Amino acid sequence: MSWHITSDVSAFAETAGEFLRSSPVRHTTLLTVVGTLRSRGLHAYGANDPILGWWTSDSGEVTGALVQTPPYPLTLTQVPPEAVPELVEALGTHPMGAANVLAGDVDAFTEAWTAKHGGTAEHGMRTRLYQLATLTPPDPLPPGTDRRATVADRPTLISWFRDFHEYIGEKSDILDELVDDRMAHGGVVLWESGGVPVSMAVHTRPVAGMVRVQYVWTPPEHRRQGFGGAATAAATRNALDAGATDVVLFTDLANPTSNALYPRLGYRPIEDRAVVEFSR
């Protein structure tokens, strides 16, 4: 049993790809990140090389995986209990500011990391992964209609992407690229009311039949009117029309509004995750 750590995206996809595709819903983040790295290059998320890894059993079967694209947190799939402390050893002195792990693995990962590196650990955002069962659009819908974003919307989208990142406490130096990438496959859906965009919901490209809805954002002046739910439902329908067999999304567990909204739209909870932030 051992971890294999690399920055070779092709080697990772070849070795761990079958494991990731075996559960595309739970492995949504790794699948989309690896897909982006393969299509847009090693530094699609930043100047530093990504860190990729897989855990193999005694029989050689891959039963766990991880990905980190600095400066974003390391994301770890479900792994056997013994793989958590072994991962800390395998990463060696690799600098890591945060890790995104299953809620049940937080204590084990935190204890192993601080035992080896010292410092402190603080709990960051807690999220819940939802999977679409049956889409149930809001009824009645708010005033307006949905449409795909166009090039003319680009300045607004960049501003809204920036506002979204600030809201969740993240910084990104590639907002222009993110907007362009999502628009390239028609993955940015706007809800427009009175001829003005009032909300957006974005979705990724299909990977192993899975699409993730993300960047659901309504500017403060347009909230509490149902626009976010309408935009999310429209983006979900757009994803299904694009060939998705599984549609998923994450919510911030500290946000009661979104965690009440998505079940009404037909999404069901799958698993909870948590970010742990480390300092030395």
- Quick one: pLDDT at residue 259? 93
Query: CA 177 to CA 180: how far, in whole Å?
Result: 5
277 within domain boundaries: no
The total number of structural domains that make up the chain: 2
Domain span at residue 92 reads: 2-118
Same domain, 62 and 161: no
Stretch (H or E) spanning 131: strand 120-132
Query: CA 76 to CA 66: how far, in whole Å?
Result: 4
How large a percentage of the chain has pLDDT more than 90? 88
From 118, 146, 180, the end of a domain falls on: 118
pLDDT tier at 93 (50, 70, 90 boundaries)? confident
Characterise 167 by phi-psi region: left (phi > 0), alpha (psi -120 to 50), beta (else).
alpha
CB neighbour burial string for 216-246, b if at least 16 within 10 angstroms, e if fewer: bbbeeebeebbbbbbbbbbbbebbbebebeb
- Quick one: pLDDT at residue 169? 81
Same domain, 143 and 250: yes
Pair 32, 207: CB distance under 8 Å? yes
- Considering Cα of 8, then 78, then 70, then 3, what sign does the dihedral take? negative
Pick the closest to residue 202 from 167, 152, 247 (CA basis): 247
pLDDT tier at 110 (50, 70, 90 boundaries)? very high
Alpha helix stretches (DSSP H) within the chain: 9-21, 28-40, 83-91, 106-117, 154-168, 175-184, 227-241, 256-264
- Quick one: pLDDT at residue 27? 98
Amino acid type, 123: H
Residue 67 has pLDDT above 90, yes or no: yes
Same domain, 171 and 210: yes
198 within domain boundaries: yes
Structure tokens at 134: 């049956």
Same domain, 151 and 104: no
Pick the closest to residue 73 from 124, 115, 12 (CA basis): 124
Query: CA 269 to CA 248: how far, in whole Å?
Result: 10
Same domain, 142 and 111: no
- Quick one: pLDDT at residue 62? 97
What tens digit of pLDDT does each residue of 155-209 get?
999 999 999 999 888 877 788 999 999 999 999 999 999 999 999 999 999 999 9
Same domain, 172 and 87: no
pLDDT tier at 94 (50, 70, 90 boundaries)? confident
Same domain, 12 and 135: no
What tens digit of pLDDT does each residue of 252-275 get?
999 999 999 999 999 999 999 999
